[in-house]
Structure 1
Amino acid sequence: MKEVRLPNLFEIFIVLGSFLALVMSFTVFLDLPIQLALFISWFIAMILGVRLGHSYKDLQTAIINGISNGLEAVLILVSVGALIGTWIAGGVVPTLIYYGLEFIHPNIFLLATLIICSIMSVATGTSWGTVGTAGIAMIAIGEGLGIPLPIVAGAVLSGAYFGDKLSPLSDSTVLASSLSKVDVLDHVRAMLFLSIPAYIITAILFTVTGFIYGGKHIDLEKVDFLKSSLQQTFDIHIWMLIPAIVVIVLLALKKPSMPVIVIGALLGAIWAVVFQGMNIPDALGTAYNGFSIKTDVEFLNGLLNRGGITGMLGSLVVIIFGLGFGGLLEKMGVLQVIVSKFEKKLTTPGKITLSTLIVAFLANIFGCAMYVSLILTPKIMENSYDKLNLDRRILSRNAEVGGTLTAGMVPWSDNGIYMAGILGVSTFSYLPFMWLSFVSIGLALLYGYTGKFIWYTKEKSLQSQKLG
């Protein structure tokens, strides 16, 4: 039997370079689906795996294990797709849009967007669900108020990711803490030292920007036209929001995410029948096929004709292929080899923090899924933290910042494809306005290099006492 070895840097460069070349050429030049590039990348990586001494069966098992590690994301995404379709059909999302246009002042709209999406993401623990419901409502309101949509998308994503990396209900929060061997509530408390100041700075930035743009380009006739179009198309009343309230309350009570989201989708279908006049088969069909309607407002058509399980299939395939590719990278030890080359230089909390953020971001780039990053990063970096007796809470916090907050920055990742598709704003357009992500990364590095909010294990504390 052939002896298994780790790849050298040249082999890693060839495989990862081929991956990037495939992804860029398929999406930028050939106009081919990213999913096909990811599928082909499996076999490029497997060629290296065989060269390293792995059997095909072992490599296939690595793909399957990688996929199984992230299947929860697949289940939630399917549920969110059904939710979006029925909530539009049932008038939940249109009602959010209507009342937003009615009551939110243009000057504070961006701040309101940040706060609303933050509250929803903390309460529900899902950035995808937040963007698919409150997010598309805020995009519609921003369009009506004449505020540039990339900035609106940045505020939506800043709010959505705030809860996704902080809520104990979030799968990413649970994943980052569990793989770092940290209690989830201890992880959340450690995140607060970074998340609260980052949130305040982000809120100030969006408030200032809101006053710059608010009211400048507002077209009151357009706002009134959008509102009247919504009223003509849907039954708009405050009780249309009951399905959203039910979902938020159930998730806040720590009920399992997938069944709660499915209950919300069922309530949306019921609302579509009872209040919007749809027949039962059509209302239920929106859960699978999404909502479809033709109005006199082209923007509303583009915004409301979405959702359904079928609308999530592209993202589902990206997740599956990305998780599989990440499984291959882990099996072959690709990222471990990269880290090992500069592991001896990781002698301070600052250097370890920087390295963790880089590894997490690279895992998003090459693993194409946030789950890949949150699974691989703690495994790869844990020894470096233990050598310096750094508390594992620092590892889980840095993995969350580097993994969760950068996932939406990669155009071919699960988050990048989903967010751009749902919001109708390209990844590179909204990326400069993901201010919470950039501020959080900056604070993580600041804490690492200054020693602020950096904690050590008992062994380190005892050593310090002896020296003293």
Structure 2
Amino acid sequence: MKKQGSIKSLIPLLVFLVVYVGVSLLAGDMYAVSIIIPFLASAVTALIMNRGKSLNEKLEIFCKGAGDNNVILMILIFILAGAFAQVAKDMGAVDSTVNLGLSILPSNLLIVGLFLIACFIALSVGTSMGTIVALVPIAVGIADKTGVVVAIAVGAVVSGAMFGDNLSIISDTTIAATRTQGCQMKDKFKMNFRIVLPAAIITTIIFAILTRNAVATDVQALNYSLVKIIPYIVVIASSLFGLNVMVVLFGGTIIAAIIGFAYGSFNIIGLCSSISNGISGMSELIIISLLIAGTIALIKENGGIEYILKKGLKKFKNKRDAEFGIAILVSLVDVCTANNTIAIVTVGPIAKNISDEFDLEPKRVAGIMDMFSCVFQGMIPYGAQLISASGLAGISPFAIMKYLLYPYLMGVCAVISMFWYHRNKSEKLNIKEKVS
């Protein structure tokens, strides 16, 4: 903390928000223009600032930030995650998982089943969007056959999708959160799971009560293959055992490819195309990660991070305050960008500095960023999740918001955990001091 903090150094972040929100308002659509554009404007602004350095010197700082080991490793994980998710999907793993769950559930538990299936699928494939696209049409069909309000069925799917998006070890949010904080995915998962489990249990109970009188008619057996679910099971199990995530994803892709060949889902050309499409789907996120990392490096060089720590966060008196500050910061960025991964990648480096300043646990910081970004991403009516869900279901995003039980409860559990965790820490510290 040798530099004097400067609020002017934060101008690139302001430029990002102004360009992003401004273009979105003009277009009338939060997703009309790629988010790369406002981040590029932010990066250019950071390069123009600080006249005390030459352009070559500033470019060197930018490139060192973008080429940081954690950033490059995160990008490699994004590449493998994209390949695995696409190969598994093309092989038929998603369809088999969905159909299996829906085939074995009693009619009055179909909505609860939708929530649990969405949890499992999102946990397996690491994407809330893929889960929503796969399950919302089925949710609408179940609602029609049972008389359940469509918004309740869709709310169950979105709730489950956000559960998996938050916890999955191949989710963009988990990868970004753990890499920026330098912690193990399994540690973040275990800590995060203990916090959100009560929210998931309460959500299940409430959905069961809301739909206890539902009776499905004309439900036919759905085709599924247990073999096609194996890649997801292997990925989840091996990750929990602590295997390197790159080994896990590579191995999962190989297993999915072998099963795909065996079932004739694709040939060698089809497999190559599937891998290519999966990686291409991550291209925007990869570019954004590089731009953000380079921009944050320049902001840090110019004293922006020091300003946040010394001035912007000066009211933080303890670890709990610091954690709440990180939670608020990532929540605000998600509300502005409508993208939880971008929120984490943007706030991650700043959160790391706050974490170092207050000696926070990396796994807790990673979990807090992931939870709060997913809480707001699952709630905002203009986010991709609710827009796609409402479009597929033919209802208003605001109708779905009334039944987004899990995101609301996850936020409540996350806040309670921060109070309870540091309360216990203080009590333990006082006990040790009395004993000594």
TM-score (norm 1): 0.68
CA distance, structure 2, for counterparts of residue 207 and residue 54 of structure 1: 62
1:325-364 CA distance string (max 9 Å, x none): 3334333343542342354433366544432322343566
Please show how residues 48-197 of structure 1 align to structure 2 within 5 Å: 48=49, 50-51=50-51, 53-67=52-66, 68=68, 69-105=70-106, 107-116=108-117, 129=126, 131=128, 137-146=134-143, 147-148=150-151, 149=154, 151-163=156-168, 171=175, 174-175=178-179, 178=182, 191=192, 194-197=195-198
Q: Is the 8 A contact 2:79 2:279 kept in 1?
A: yes
Residue 6 of structure 1: CA displacement? 3.4
Tell me which of 361, 364, 369 is aligned to 1:402: 369
Structure 2: which amino acid aligns with 1:355? Answer: G
Tell me which of 307, 314, 322 is aligned to 2:284: 314
1:194-225 CA distance string (max 9 Å, x none): 3343443344344445558x65xx7x56x65x
Structure 1: which amino acid aligns with 2:104? Answer: F
CA distance, structure 2, for counterparts of residue 113 and residue 177 of structure 1: 33
Greater length-normalized contact order (CA 8 Å, ≥ 6 residues apart): 2
CA distance, structure 2, for counterparts of residue 261 and residue 187 of structure 1: 18
CA distance, structure 2, for counterparts of residue 285 and residue 316 of structure 1: 19
Please show how residues 318-467 of structure 1 align to structure 2 within 5 Å: 318-341=288-311, 343-347=313-317, 351-362=321-332, 368-383=342-357, 385=358, 392-393=360-361, 396-398=363-365, 400-406=367-373, 409=376, 435-446=405-416, 448=418, 453-456=423-426
Relative distance call for 1:310 and 1:396 in structure 2 (3 A) is closer
Tell me which of 219, 222, 227 is aligned to 1:239: 227
Relative distance call for 1:286 and 1:173 in structure 2 (3 A) is closer
Structure 2 residue runs of 5 or longer lacking an equivalent are: 144-149
Q: Is the 8 A contact 2:119 2:160 kept in 1?
A: no
Q: Is the 8 A contact 1:86 1:283 kept in 2?
A: yes
Relative distance call for 1:41 and 1:108 in structure 2 (3 A) is farther
In the alignment, structure 1 residue 284 sits paired with structure 2 residue 272: yes
Relative distance call for 1:45 and 1:161 in structure 2 (3 A) is same
Q: Is the 8 A contact 1:35 1:317 kept in 2?
A: yes
CA distance, structure 2, for counterparts of residue 18 and residue 243 of structure 1: 43
Relative distance call for 1:24 and 1:198 in structure 2 (3 A) is same
In the alignment, structure 1 residue 265 sits paired with structure 2 residue 232: no
CA distance, structure 2, for counterparts of residue 59 and residue 410 of structure 1: 34
Structure 1: which amino acid aligns with 2:292? Answer: G
Q: Is the 8 A contact 2:177 2:366 kept in 1?
A: no
CA distance, structure 2, for counterparts of residue 192 and residue 279 of structure 1: 38
CA distance, structure 1, for counterparts of residue 367 and residue 235 of structure 2: 25
* Equivalences, count: 407
The 10-residue stretch of structure 1 (38-47 or 24-33) with the greater mean CA deviation from structure 2: 24-33
Structure 2: which amino acid aligns with 1:160? Answer: D
Structure 2: which amino acid aligns with 1:281? Answer: I
Residue 188 of structure 1: CA displacement? 6.6
1:354-392 CA distance string (max 9 Å, x none): 323223435666893524433421312543x46xxxxx3
CA distance, structure 2, for counterparts of residue 287 and residue 165 of structure 1: 16
CA distance, structure 1, for counterparts of residue 193 and residue 55 of structure 2: 45
1:115-144 CA distance string (max 9 Å, x none): 45656777x7xxx63547766544453243
The 10-residue stretch of structure 1 (73-82 or 340-349) with the greater mean CA deviation from structure 2: 340-349
Structure 2: which amino acid aligns with 1:156? Answer: A
Structure 2: which amino acid aligns with 1:374? Answer: G
TM-score (norm 2): 0.72
CA distance, structure 1, for counterparts of residue 369 and residue 84 of structure 2: 29
The 10-residue stretch of structure 1 (446-455 or 32-41) with the greater mean CA deviation from structure 2: 446-455
Structure 1: which amino acid aligns with 2:300? Answer: E
Q: Is the 8 A contact 1:111 1:207 kept in 2?
A: yes
Q: Is the 8 A contact 1:92 1:240 kept in 2?
A: yes
Structure 1 residue runs of 5 or longer lacking an equivalent are: 290-307, 387-391
**Residue 345 of structure 1 aligns to a residue in which SS?**
coil
Structure 1: which amino acid aligns with 2:94? Answer: V
Question: What does residue 292 of structure 1 align with?
Answer: none
Relative distance call for 1:237 and 1:173 in structure 2 (3 A) is same
Relative distance call for 1:34 and 1:165 in structure 2 (3 A) is closer
Q: Is the 8 A contact 2:74 2:176 kept in 1?
A: no
Question: What does residue 5 of structure 2 align with?
Answer: 6
**Residue 6 of structure 1 aligns to a residue in which SS?**
coil
1:157-208 CA distance string (max 9 Å, x none): 1233145599xxx6467547647xxx98877776566334344334434444
Question: What does residue 44 of structure 2 align with?
Answer: 43
Q: Is the 8 A contact 1:93 1:133 kept in 2?
A: no
1:263-297 CA distance string (max 9 Å, x none): 333333333333236433224322223xxxxxxxx
CA distance, structure 2, for counterparts of residue 196 and residue 61 of structure 1: 45
**Residue 73 of structure 1 aligns to a residue in which SS?**
helix
**Residue 297 of structure 2 aligns to a residue in which SS?**
helix
Identical positions, percent: 18
Question: What does residue 17 of structure 1 align with?
Answer: 14
Structure 2: which amino acid aligns with 1:45? Answer: A
CA distance, structure 1, for counterparts of residue 170 and residue 351 of structure 2: 15
CA distance, structure 2, for counterparts of residue 368 and residue 136 of structure 1: 21
CA distance, structure 1, for counterparts of residue 97 and residue 421 of structure 2: 44
Structure 2: which amino acid aligns with 1:245? Answer: I
